[in-house]
Amino acid sequence: MKKYLLPAVFMAANPFLLAGEPPSARKEPHRLEKHGQVRMDDYYWLKERGKPEVTEYLRAENAYADAAMKHTEKLQQELFAEMKARIKQDDSTVPFKYGDYYYYKTYRSGAEYPVYARKRGSPGGEEEVILDVNELAKGKAFCQVRFPSIRPDHKMIAYAMDTGGRRFFDVYFKDLATGATLQEKIERTAGNMEWANDNRTLFYVKQDTETLRWERVFAHVLGGGPDREVYFEPDETFEVSISKSLTDRYIFVRSEATLSTEYRLLDADAPASPPRVFQPRQPRLEYDVEDGGDAFYVRNNGGGARNFRVSVCPATSTAVSSWRDLIPPREDTMIEYISVFRDWLVLKERKDALGRFRAVNRGTGAGRYLDFDEPAYMADLGDNFEYDTGTLRLTYESLTTPDSVYDADLNTGEKKLMKRQEVLGGFSADNYKAERLWVTARDGEKVPMDIVYRKGLDLKSGKNPVYIYSYGSYGYSTDPYFSTIRLSLLDRGFICAIPHIRGGSEMGRRWYEEGRQLKKKNTFYDFIDATKYLIDGGYTSPAHVYAQGGSAGGLLMGAVANMAPRLYRGIIADVPFVDVVTTMLDPDIPLTTGEYDEWGDPNVKEYYDYILSYSPYDNVSGQAYPNMMITTGLNDSQVQYWEPAKWAAKLRAMKTDHNLLLLKTDMDTGHGGKSGRFESMKLDALEYAFMLDLEGIKK
């Protein structure tokens, strides 16, 4: 194995490093028994967060990774510089109207963090800064501040700040008239909050400090006594969240499991009143509610509507027995969500792995589609805060079209481009081409895959480097998004591919159901078969294929590495969920019990056996693996750091190849990595340098 020399002083102080060899974690067998089966976990001890030996091991892996990549430092710097140079540093979002103000986010030249601001009366008015996150972030290794919650009278904001990366947010109150931040604050919340209409009461969500489950809703009254608990969600498989209706009449308290939903309504004008249940939860009944003034609109899967229907019910009678069908379900089209305005119902639909919007007039029932003409794209609702409007804010992008903001006239269907992301450095969309391909999977299923490349590339040379990325879990669709970062690969001759594998919802709810629980392996098979399609089609060869995925997509990477290692030259697994069986058997680990409907409950032997058959950590074997880079964050709240750490240690001990294996732990951050807009690019530059170096591309 190639050796990477480390500083002698560091090696002497760290027992994991010997003569520049990769770190070797000690084995301490830990017995895990379930269903009469015994598993021995040699690296279970790495779960002891804060123990000096654990910290030393992680730092040793970091030092080894730094040494192994040291010869690419110049390339990393060049990549970071070109990635940064494409970003317009002094830039703002399109203002959205809320009340008498237009709110927006802006970045100053050279600044890492946003400035939140507004203008009164019109988008051309005088700027008023309401919060400068750069000031809050001074001296902090990590700082995340979401867009503030605006009080209904627009005289105060509440903002939530996380400085540890573990998604615990402290809430602060700022008086916009005086610019003063109040002394009172709310500590360790989920960051999910909404104002009542009395301009005194803020509803917010708190999570369990150990499991991190969002479980309680509280009411904080400015200048009042102790915060009042409004609702506690007792079912550990459910999480609770809150939102405010576009009509401003209700605070919605939403309890959600993977396959069941329950809403409660809080009167925003009477915040002390108790919440009332909209429709009691039922197994496998999922629904979402929007207020339409004199009626509620309900997106739901009742009556076997796998791809969802839209129902309507009177405000005075909200039980499912009162729901009347408005838009029936369709087998080929999924209704992803709805939004209700005074005169319009807007649906986000998905068909053939493409999302589109349908606007329906609430009075006449007449409707129209707001279509886009590229073969593959990503479209979503933008910032819409006005109930009484005929204009819909949309966002749009594709593999070749930068992030764009449109205002659509719902009466005519005409779309007006408000802004398109400016990409510096001579970018022209005309230099790139995107295509949609259809892959026949091993079971005959047709899997859509989007690819993008620079024009002039010999597509069928058999030697093109390929970067292939996907996710494939929780029903999340991996839409073909635009990336300024990705240009660094495209301009160096890469083909970039996004296969829309099962486990997402690109092809409707069936697509998700075919990639979860006892059908989870379809997710991995689809990704592997998409890779084979590119190889067999002459686009590339295994010596030039690089795969990447994060979180549950990191699970995908781990499974693929075990199942088809010879198809890939390199694999990058970011914050990977790889110790599936052990994690899902531990209810004290964050986000476990609520995941049973996604992966299956391993306390049931059928699910245990199936999960065990693909769990990446449990299936590491004595075989050759691709070159691998694994990343994690010490404060990760979603996938605990020890999963990738254990996986790396086991791979080192068992793999038979001499390929590179790197574990990089950010000791200051969590699941999302660095918080600054430029600092976060340094990890991208490192990962791209990892691939380019393997490909023999030095600049």
Per-residue model confidence as pLDDT tens digits over 294-339: 999 999 999 999 999 999 999 999 999 999 999 999 999 999 999 9
- Sign of the Cα torsion 252, 255, 261, 262 reads negative
Q: Would you state the pLDDT for residue 211?
A: 84
Residue 557 lies in a domain: yes
229: its two tokens: 């608990």
* Among candidate residues 136, 168, 198, the one where a domain is terminated: 136
Q: Would you state the pLDDT for residue 272?
A: 97
Choosing from 245, 450, 671, 684, the catalytic residue is 671
Q: Give yes or no: residues 105 and 172 share one domain.
A: no
Q: Would you state the pLDDT for residue 50?
A: 86
| 636 carries an active-site annotation | yes
Give the single-character DSSP code of 414.
-
Give the single-character DSSP code of 274.
P
Residue 404 lies in a domain: no
Q: Would you state the pLDDT for residue 164?
A: 83
Q: Give yes or no: residues 445 and 565 share one domain.
A: yes
Q: Would you state the pLDDT for residue 631?
A: 96
Which residues, including other chains, have CB under 8 Å from residue 8's CB and lie 6 or more apart?
A: none
Choosing from 473, 551, 615, 675, the catalytic residue is 551
Helix (H) or strand (E) holding 360: strand 354-361
Domain of 118 in residue numbering reads as 93-136
Residue 598 lies in a domain: yes
Q: Give yes or no: residues 110 and 174 share one domain.
A: no
384: its two tokens: 């819409």
Of residues 123, 50, 170, 631, the one with CA closest to residue 405: 123
Residue 111 lies in a domain: yes
Q: Give yes or no: residues 602 and 688 share one domain.
A: yes
User: Tens digits of per-residue pLDDT, 634-690?
Assistant: 987 778 899 999 999 999 999 999 999 999 998 877 666 666 677 888 999 999 999
For residue 10, which amino acid is it?
Answer: F
Residue 528 lies in a domain: yes
Residue 254 φ/ψ, nearest 5 degrees: -110, 120
Residue 251 lies in a domain: yes
Could you say which residues of the chain have pLDDT below 50?
Answer: 1-19
Helix (H) or strand (E) holding 76: helix 73-85
Strand blocks (E) in 88-155? 91-92, 96-98, 101-107, 115-120, 127-132, 144-145, 149-150
Residue 84 φ/ψ, nearest 5 degrees: -65, -35
Q: Give yes or no: residues 165 and 234 share one domain.
A: yes
CATH number for the domain harbouring residue 543: 3.40.50.1820
Q: Give yes or no: residues 106 and 249 share one domain.
A: no
Which residues face 664 on adjacent strands? 631
Number of structural domains found in the chain: 3
Q: Give yes or no: residues 570 and 535 share one domain.
A: yes
Could you tell me if 63 and 17 are in contact, meaning their C-beta atoms sit under 8 angstroms apart?
yes
253: its two tokens: 């308290």
Q: Give yes or no: residues 661 and 540 share one domain.
A: yes
Record the pTM: 0.91
Residue 420 lies in a domain: no
Q: Give yes or no: residues 191 and 248 share one domain.
A: yes
Q: Give yes or no: residues 107 and 195 share one domain.
A: no
* Among candidate residues 285, 307, 339, the one where a domain is terminated: 285
| 551 carries an active-site annotation | yes
* Among candidate residues 253, 268, 285, the one where a domain is terminated: 285
Q: Give yes or no: residues 97 and 149 share one domain.
A: no
CATH number for the domain harbouring residue 268: 2.130.10.120
Residue corresponding to tokens 């009167």: 267
Q: Give yes or no: residues 613 and 577 share one domain.
A: yes
Give dist(CA 520, CA 609) in Å, integer.
Answer: 13
Round to the nearest angstrom and report the end-to-end CA distance of the chain: 25
Give the single-character DSSP code of 294.
S
| 170 carries an active-site annotation | no
Residue 546 lies in a domain: yes
Choosing from 288, 450, 636, 666, the catalytic residue is 636
622: its two tokens: 């004595």
